[in-house]
Amino acid sequence: MKELVRQFRDFFVSLQLTVVLLAMGIVLVFAATLDQTNLGIWAVQEKYFRSFFVLWQVGEVPVPVFPGGYLVGGLLFFNLLASHFYRFKFTWKKSGIFMTHIGLLLLLVGELLSGLWQEDTLLTMREGETLNYSESQLKNELAIIDVTDPKTDLVVAVPENVLARGRTIEHPDLPFRIETRSYYQNAMLRRRDEAPNMPPSLATAGLGPQVVAIPVAPTYRQNERNSPAAFIEVIGREGPIGTFLVSTNLASEKPDTNGMVVQWQPQTFSYAGRQWKIMLRHARVYHPFSLTLLKVEHDVYAGTDIPKNFSSRVRVNNPDGRDDHEALIYMNNPLRYQGLTFFQSQMAKSVQLTGLQVVSNPSRQLPYISCILMGVGLLVQFGIHLFGFLGKRRKVAA
């Protein structure tokens, strides 16, 4: 037993491990940078850094081929911590090194916490509109909504990856089950009467029979988003209720920031005496307050189309009646409210639409603190050496 403990200790305090992990980190960053052209920044972050292993898909089986950011960073964290406890003896002469290492440890912890806790969503609103939710820029969800009650909606949200797996979807709040008949990671929709030579639709209800979903290659560009589509069959106790085509392109409710206009009609059905609405939409995060967009401004330099300033005047309203105030959000002047930061992100003045990036990151201060610690630590350490050196020179000169 003692031998095993000694092996663990020697492994974690080893300087060789530090060097190997730093080299692995360099390889990881290099490979991820190259792969960014294929996958885009979001997918690369997930694949290389926010994972324990970098996986390659061999047929249907994901095979780990290299340690991921969590493994390399985690081992580096324990390596640094264990080395400190085992080797490092604190003296004032080494206080700078100590501070620098504490800063580095904090940086690693901060990155881990950001990866786990940070949530980026987008709040797009037209002038006059009031919303109490923002939408994910990456994730989608199948929302099955019981809209029978005129006061409240009961929402069952199924993440897109559950839909993609094709397993039977059941939930205690749903009196029926859902089977995925077909799923496309990215698909374009066309009107059936304008789409030549298309096979018969799988859909039997809703908009599906009039629309064709044509699978296209997934996009990984930073300024584009995949539009997934799926044919899903809703099956009650007595038998099938209907097969619907759902797609994020069928659920968009407003013009996007490119100014494209949408008229949206929900797909609904009745079952067990209740009225249901079904849609594949950008995953929503609801907030305990609402924002109303009062005015959007898009100023340009006189005589040009060059943007000078984007700004959104919003009213923040808390239903508990404690808060009701206006705020002006513009570039470099975000609104901070209830742990969320609202940045001015997108703008389409022609359709009076604004896009606010909503960031929730409880650990957002950690990188700043760690950088200050490392900077001060290095200054202290070099200062100690410099003053020691100058002291020695003075003595020699005297």
Partner 1 sequence: MSASRRTLSVVACTLLLGGCRDAKITSYRVPHEADPAPVAAPAPAAAATGSAMAATPVATTAGMALTWTAPANWQSKPATTMRKATYTIAGDGAEADLSITAFPGDVGGELANVNRWRGQVGLGDLTAAQLAGATQHFDANGLHLTVVDYPGQGAAAAQRLLGAIVPVGSETWFFKLLGPAALVGREREAFMEFLKSIRKS
For partner 1, the closer CB: 97 or 156? 156
For partner 1, the closer CB: 154 or 376? 154
Question: Which alpha helices (H) appear in 166-217, and where do they start and end?
Answer: none
Q: How far apart are the first and last CA of the chain?
A: 60
Q: Which of 182, 186, 357, 360 binds partner 1 (CB under 8 A)?
A: 186
For partner 1, the closer CB: 73 or 110? 73
Contact between 173 and partner 1 per CB under 8 A: yes
Residue 170 class from Cβ within 10 Å (0-12 exposed, 13-18 middle, 19+ buried)?
A: exposed
Contact between 74 and partner 1 per CB under 8 A: yes
- 64: β partners: 55
Residue 84 corresponds to which tokens in the numbers above? 């400190």
Residue with tokens 């206006």: 326
| Side chain identity, residue 44 | V
Contact between 162 and partner 1 per CB under 8 A: yes
For partner 1, the closer CB: 91 or 223? 223
Residue with tokens 């972050």: 45
Q: Which of 45, 219, 318, 357 binds partner 1 (CB under 8 A)?
A: 219
For partner 1, the closer CB: 95 or 186? 186
Residue 357 corresponds to which tokens in the numbers above? 């990036």
Q: Which stretch binds partner 1 (CB under 8 A): 5-13, 22-30, 331-339, 361-369?
A: 5-13
Contact between 156 and partner 1 per CB under 8 A: yes
Contact between 71 and partner 1 per CB under 8 A: yes
Residue 211 corresponds to which tokens in the numbers above? 């629309």
Q: Which of 24, 97, 189, 366 binds partner 1 (CB under 8 A)?
A: 189
What is the greatest pairwise CA distance in the chain?
A: 102
For partner 1, the closer CB: 227 or 243? 227
Contact between 252 and partner 1 per CB under 8 A: yes
Q: Which of 31, 104, 105, 207 binds partner 1 (CB under 8 A)?
A: 207
Q: Give the Cα separation of 97 and 84 in Å (integer).
A: 11
Contact between 158 and partner 1 per CB under 8 A: yes
Contact between 197 and partner 1 per CB under 8 A: yes
CB of 304 to partner 1, least distance (A): 22
Q: Which stretch binds partner 1 (CB under 8 A): 148-156, 235-243, 310-318, 366-374?
A: 148-156
262-to-182, 253, 375 alpha-carbon distances in Å? 25, 6, 51
Nearest to 334 by CA among 307, 322, 316: 316
Contact between 75 and partner 1 per CB under 8 A: yes
Cα 368 to the center of its chain, rounded Å: 21
CB of 222 to partner 1, least distance (A): 12
Contact between 169 and partner 1 per CB under 8 A: yes
Q: Which of 33, 118, 210, 275 binds partner 1 (CB under 8 A)?
A: 210
CA-atom Rg of the chain in angstroms = 27
Contact between 222 and partner 1 per CB under 8 A: no
Q: Give the Cα separation of 175 and 8 in Å (integer).
A: 53
Q: Give the Cα separation of 131 and 369 in Å (integer).
A: 34
Q: Which of 128, 159, 240, 388 binds partner 1 (CB under 8 A)?
A: 159
CB of 55 to partner 1, least distance (A): 11
State the number of binding residues for partner 1 (CB under 8 A): 73
CB of 292 to partner 1, least distance (A): 15
Long-range contacts of 88-91 (CB under 8 A, 24+ apart): none
Q: Which of 100, 134, 243, 248 binds partner 1 (CB under 8 A)?
A: 248
Contact between 285 and partner 1 per CB under 8 A: no
Long-range contacts of 78-83 (CB under 8 A, 24+ apart): 78/12, 79/12, 79/13, 79/14, 79/17, 79/18, 79/21, 80/18, 80/104, 80/105, 80/108, 81/105, 82/9, 82/12, 82/13, 83/12, 83/13, 83/15, 83/18
Of residues 347 through 386, those in contact with partner 1 by CB under 8 A are 351
Q: Which of 81, 154, 235, 327 binds partner 1 (CB under 8 A)?
A: 154
Task: Identify whether the C-beta of residue 30 lies closer than 8 Å to the C-beta of residue 41.
Answer: no
